Amino acid sequence: MVSRVRSGDFDITKNIRIIEGLKCQILNSVARIFSMLASGAQASQEALAQSLGNIIIACYLLGRRLGIHYALIDQTIEDQIRLGIIEDEEIEQNYGDLSELQQHLRGSRNDF
């Protein structure tokens, strides 16, 4: 007996496989960062930036596979930064990191 796979079923299976792969990429990148930081050796900025970049890209792609548009992710990030500034989170109080990130994101949008 020959089993027929409908096109929609194949797309769902393919999408699940891609989602699982993206989840693994995120976990692997997080593990690499933890390993670099725990090793005691000075991790290069390039290696850390590469892992952080991999996480960010994989999160955007994962969101897209889950039906979340990139613009919604961007808006959510902006809202969370704004809320952190308003609530005066510790990282903002001590270092102004959220304000700096907000300015960076606004400036990088003007570059495109």
Task: Express each pLDDT in 39-61 by its tens digit.
Answer: 877 889 999 999 999 999 999 99
Model pTM above 0.75: yes
pLDDT one-digit tens code per residue, 48-103 = 999 999 999 999 999 999 999 999 999 999 999 999 999 999 999 999 999 999 99
In the predicted structure, residue 2 carries a pLDDT above the cut 80: no
The SS3 of residue 11 is helix
Number of neighbours of residue 85 by Cβ within 10 angstroms? 16
Query: What ranges do the domains of the chain cover?
Result: 1-68, 69-112
The span from the CA of 45 to the CA of 1, in Å, is 57
pLDDT band at 6 (very low <50, low <70, confident <90, very high): low
